[in-house]
Amino acid sequence: MSEESKIIKEFTSKEYEHGWSVNLEADEAPIGINDDIIKFISKKKEEPRWLLEWRLEAFQIFKKMEEPDWANLNYPKIDFQKIKYYSAPKQKKSPKSLNDVDPELIKTFNRLGISLNEQKKLTGVAVDAVIDSVSVATTFKDKLLELGIIFCSFSEAVKEHPKLVKKYLGTVIPRNDNYFSALNSAVFTDGSFCYIPKGIRCPMELSTYFRINAANTGQFERTLIIAEDSSYVSYLEGCTAPMRDENQLHAAVVEIFAAKNAEVKYSTVQNWYPGDENGKGGIYNFVTKRGICFGNNSKISWTQVETGSAVTWKYPSCILKGDNSVGEFYSVAVTNNYQQADTGSKMIHIGKNSKSKIISKGISAGFSQNSYRGQVKIMKRAKNSRNFSQCDSLLLGNKCGAHTFPYIDVENKSSLVEHEATTSKIGEDQIFYCLQRGIDEENAIALIVNGYAKEVLKQLPMEFSVEAQKLLSLTLEGSVG
């Protein structure tokens, strides 16, 4: 390698593009968690009594639970009393329209490439922008409302659409589902809410952009998507955080409800700060995502590109309750340096003729550990159901690890489950082939890796697909050679 390209490589390999933070004056809760903190959060959000009680009960549940240790993850025990559970950028008044949003916040999101200006922005995407514990702006709200589509922050939904929230909150993921869902239920702050009425195809992509800004603060977002009969929505989620030496906790819950003939497509590009190349700092990402295909012929499709976080614990799942319902999970998880990921999916077949597909592509580099963990359960009454799972692992270098933990449970004879798994090393001969054609090493790896992940990447909406490809290359920069 020439001196010049060496220098470029060193320069680029350290870069986490979104590692900066801004000084925003914040309204914060004291550090730690107890009933008073939960009351504080609930009061800040001006919540109804039932929701406060719901939160307090969740906290009781949380206190009785143990932090799970079955994942293939190694990290120091989290001290939940050292985390700040609420931090909101101070705004003069609560913004009634986009014009009232603090320009400082608009600038922050502009810097991330997220425009909150409806005129300038491509009209194909509506954005809900969440910073730390609050949503600061949601675009195209009014235009969507003309179709009856509700797209707003979770806090606003609690105020404006309490019946819907009460009806669905915690139905797909009960508070006691797991340790982190209990925690989230107690202290969740903001997130997005979408409601697509019967027969409506949402004409634009809905997206939420999450940003952690404040130090020592956890982010606990809550998202709820409800798709009524024969409706369709494609939803995107992106996220970034500043570079900090301390680990920060992100524990989100996303619930999706699909009524009969409804289809929900949920895409994530997860780019939380992964820590530095020695494994210092980075986000602990403990997320529970689950959708229920409640009605017949409904469909939920998860696509995730996981490149960030120091630790990722995440299993977007589908409960296929309706007959002929379809669940899909497409995942690319990349780990480099000392990152650890334990991710996969659960497909629970209850309805007849239900179908599910799991395509998981793990890519490990550096000293990282990358595990696929997946469960396919076909219940007795789910006659003639099908699952196809494919879990591929690609290793770059020989100090990283790839692991696969499939759990399969089929309770009837007419159903069929297929599981395929491969592990391969990135081929030196493939890299040489690219080099021989004049392509440099970084681009060669990017090409090969993107080719390997193509089946998943092509599921993403266009704008995201390009960003995701860049991210994959960036994450792996400096990992070979």
Partner 1 sequence: MLSIKKLKVSIENNLILKGLNLEIKNGEVHAIMGPNGSGKSTLASVIAGNDNYKIESGSISFFGKNINNFSPDERAMMGIFLAFQYPVEIPGVSTINFIKTALNRIREFNKKKPLDAVGFLNTMKKKMNLVKIDRDLLSRSINEGFSGGEKKRNEIFQMAMLEPKLSILDETDSGLDIDALKIVSNGVNKLRTKDNSTIVVTHYQRLLDYIIPDYVHVLIDGKIVKSGNKDLALELENKGYDWL
What is the spatial distance between Cα 10 and Cα 175, in angstroms, rounded to a whole number? Answer: 46
Q: Is residue 421 part of the contact set for partner 1 (CB under 8 A)?
A: no
> In terms of CB distance, is 50 or 432 closer to partner 1?
432
Task: Pick from 101, 143, 454, 480 the residue near partner 1 by CB under 8 A.
Answer: 454
> In terms of CB distance, is 5 or 94 closer to partner 1?
5
Task: Pick from 151, 367, 452, 464 the residue near partner 1 by CB under 8 A.
Answer: 452
Work out how close the CB of 173 gets to partner 1 at its nearest, in angstroms, rounded to a whole number.
34
Q: Is residue 16 part of the contact set for partner 1 (CB under 8 A)?
A: no
What's the Cα-to-Cα distance from 394 to each of 197, 329, 371, 402, rounded to whole Å? 42, 19, 11, 8
The residue whose two tokens read 């590009």 is 269
> In terms of CB distance, is 5 or 34 closer to partner 1?
5
What's the Cα-to-Cα distance from 222 to each of 78, 184, 190, 194, 210, rounded to whole Å? 21, 8, 6, 12, 11
Task: Pick from 277, 441, 463, 467 the residue near partner 1 by CB under 8 A.
Answer: 441
Q: Is residue 9 part of the contact set for partner 1 (CB under 8 A)?
A: no
Q: Is residue 427 part of the contact set for partner 1 (CB under 8 A)?
A: yes
Task: Pick from 440, 461, 467, 480 the residue near partner 1 by CB under 8 A.
Answer: 440
Q: Is residue 450 part of the contact set for partner 1 (CB under 8 A)?
A: yes
Q: Counting beta carbons within 10 angstroms of the beta carbon of residue 101, is it exposed (0 to 12), middle (13 to 18) or buried (19 or more)? A: middle
Work out how close the CB of 476 gets to partner 1 at its nearest, in angstroms, rounded to a whole number.
15
Taking a C-beta distance cutoff of 8 angstroms, is the pair 325, 264 a contact?
no
What is the spatial distance between Cα 370 and Cα 393, in angstroms, rounded to a whole number? Answer: 9
Q: Is residue 433 part of the contact set for partner 1 (CB under 8 A)?
A: yes
Stretch touching partner 1 by CB under 8 A, among 140-148, 159-167, 327-335, 446-454: 446-454
Q: Is residue 434 part of the contact set for partner 1 (CB under 8 A)?
A: yes
Stretch touching partner 1 by CB under 8 A, among 74-82, 298-306, 351-359, 444-452: 444-452
**Structure-token pair, residue 35:** 């009933």
Task: Pick from 11, 20, 407, 432 the residue near partner 1 by CB under 8 A.
Answer: 432
> In terms of CB distance, is 5 or 171 closer to partner 1?
5
| Chain residues 346-405 in contact with partner 1, contact rule CB under 8 A | none
Q: Counting beta carbons within 10 angstroms of the beta carbon of residue 314, is it exposed (0 to 12), middle (13 to 18) or buried (19 or more)? A: buried
Judged by CB under 8 A, the number of residues near partner 1 is: 26
Going by the DSSP 8-state scheme, the letter that residue 201 receives in this structure is: B
Helix or strand holding residue 373 (H, E): strand 369-378
What is the spatial distance between Cα 189 and Cα 320, in angstroms, rounded to a whole number? Answer: 29
Q: Is residue 8 part of the contact set for partner 1 (CB under 8 A)?
A: no
Q: Is residue 443 part of the contact set for partner 1 (CB under 8 A)?
A: yes
> In terms of CB distance, is 152 or 444 closer to partner 1?
444
Work out how close the CB of 475 gets to partner 1 at its nearest, in angstroms, rounded to a whole number.
17
Task: Pick from 8, 52, 164, 447 the residue near partner 1 by CB under 8 A.
Answer: 447
Q: Give the distance, in angstroms, between the CA of residue 90 and the centroid of all CA atoms in the same chain.
A: 26
Q: Is residue 330 part of the contact set for partner 1 (CB under 8 A)?
A: no
Stretch touching partner 1 by CB under 8 A, among 25-33, 63-71, 189-197, 439-447: 439-447
> In terms of CB distance, is 88 or 431 closer to partner 1?
431
Work out how close the CB of 259 gets to partner 1 at its nearest, in angstroms, rounded to a whole number.
36
Do strands 253-258 and 222-227 pair parallel, antiparallel, or not at all (unpaired)? parallel
What's the Cα-to-Cα distance from 303 to each of 97, 160, 331, 360, 473, rounded to whole Å? 32, 30, 6, 10, 18
Q: Is residue 429 part of the contact set for partner 1 (CB under 8 A)?
A: yes
Work out how close the CB of 436 gets to partner 1 at its nearest, in angstroms, rounded to a whole number.
5
Name which of 286, 271, 273, 269 is nearest 235 in CA terms: 269
Amino acid in position 346: K
Work out how close the CB of 406 gets to partner 1 at its nearest, in angstroms, rounded to a whole number.
22
Helix or strand holding residue 393 (H, E): strand 386-395
Three-class SS string for 288-317? EEEEEECCCCCEEEEEEEECCCCEEEECCE
Alpha helices in 65-140 (DSSP H): 103-111
Work out how close the CB of 477 gets to partner 1 at its nearest, in angstroms, rounded to a whole number.
16
**Structure-token pair, residue 112:** 């991330």
What is the spatial distance between Cα 394 and Cα 363, in angstroms, rounded to a whole number? Answer: 5
Name the residues that contact partner 1, by CB under 8 A.
1-2, 5, 427-430, 432-441, 443, 447-448, 450-455
